[in-house]
Structure 1
């Protein structure tokens, strides 16, 4: 199970290498959009990739929130936002992501809540642990209390959120990439099922999975939610 998931995360990461955040208008993949300021009921100052610009959105956006979305430049330079979908809260802060690579993340080939809890407690007992990582590991421990392995990590500078939940011999997972949007799926009886929120991600992944000779049943979903969201916690750990 874990090896199949590792391959999927690796393929998703490789796709990110071909999409540059310096390109502001990318119709081939979803793009991250940060709302810097609300100017009036329909106009916003946005950060798209590395560019800042002002444009309209018929959907009400929240200042300080990050979204995935499709972004196009039409005739006459008209900019169009579509299919905006809120990113998990922690995507607003790169310091909340662990600086670990895929190899380190998937060292263990089996899923063990006990080993993961022991690892988290060891990290939290480290007096030299920076404040931002203390909060990250605390959220990871709280997620584990809900039987969810919650791992936000940076891979080659890109933010990736991986969540896993094992129940009745089925591994349920959620993966959020900056450049693909959210994905969800499950692994059962040796088969891997994967669902995308964006059609562009579906098309790109379908080609990449075929080239990698990885057998995955791929589909589209209208809504994809994390297995755990730190924003839902009643306890305020920011201090």
Structure 2
């Protein structure tokens, strides 16, 4: 397959950089945590460093974290388009990678030997379960590309006949799904602001870009404990 990891890496790095563009910070999906259920449609949520009350048209689970679009209408917060944040994003921030101080490690995909080495040197259960998932995915020919910078990001990818299917997750862009060929990139996202931002900077990708509003699903779903792992 002519499409190599370096092209995948460029796409991931470019998208990760877009998260820091200040003009779009207020419109991109934000992370909220549900602190308390006041009644079936009203909740106390944590937004950044503050706690606020808001309504939700769908039931939310106390203690869970969600991506959400937020608008302020008549001094009241209105949340919509809520998607539960995959546990992998929270876990990713806790993982310590071998050789992560090496500057070349900022963008990395793992060989099987490296995965086994990380398993052998896991410092805790979280790291062990993380790399066990990475290994199980690897055996299914699903690979992981990680950005190990201040804002970590992860891409899953799987080769097909003439394209690569991918899933990526970011702290502010949210979840993305799509396909990459040698000359095109197709991206699906449930968030309009994320798609608008990619549209604005698509020339940086050196690919023909197609954008669609649609739910994004992982190629490999991480199990949160060893009992749930599918071998």
TM-score w.r.t. length of structure 2:
0.82
Given the superposition, is the C-alpha separation of residues 98 and 225 from structure 1 closer, same or farther in structure 2, using an over 3 Å criterion?
farther
Given the superposition, is the C-alpha separation of residues 196 and 95 from structure 1 closer, same or farther in structure 2, using an over 3 Å criterion?
closer
2:119 is matched with which residue: 86, 103, 124? 124
Given the superposition, is the C-alpha separation of residues 152 and 207 from structure 1 closer, same or farther in structure 2, using an over 3 Å criterion?
same
Given the superposition, is the C-alpha separation of residues 167 and 98 from structure 1 closer, same or farther in structure 2, using an over 3 Å criterion?
farther
CA contact (8 A) 1:196 1:221 kept: yes
Q: CA RMSD in A?
A: 2.9
5+ residue gaps, structure 2: none
**1:229 correspondence with 2:221:** yes
CA contact (8 A) 1:192 1:215 kept: yes
Q: Map of 1:8-157 to 2, 5 A cutoff?
A: 8-19=11-22, 27-75=26-74, 77-93=75-91, 95-98=93-96, 100=100, 103-104=104-105, 106=107, 116-126=111-121, 129-151=123-145, 154-156=148-150
**1:165 correspondence with 2:180:** no
Given the superposition, is the C-alpha separation of residues 58 and 213 from structure 1 closer, same or farther in structure 2, using an over 3 Å criterion?
closer
Q: Distance in 1 between matches of 2:45 and 2:135?
A: 34
CA deviation vs aligned residue, 1:70-93 (integer Å, no higher than 9, x gap)? 101112x12100111122122344
Q: Distance in 2 between matches of 1:123 and 1:171?
A: 26
Partner of 2:207: 215
TM-score w.r.t. length of structure 1:
0.80
CA contact (8 A) 1:34 1:67 kept: yes
Aligned residues: 223
5+ residue gaps, structure 1: 21-25, 109-114
CA contact (8 A) 1:95 1:132 kept: no
Measured after TM superposition, the shift of residue 177 of structure 1 is 0.9
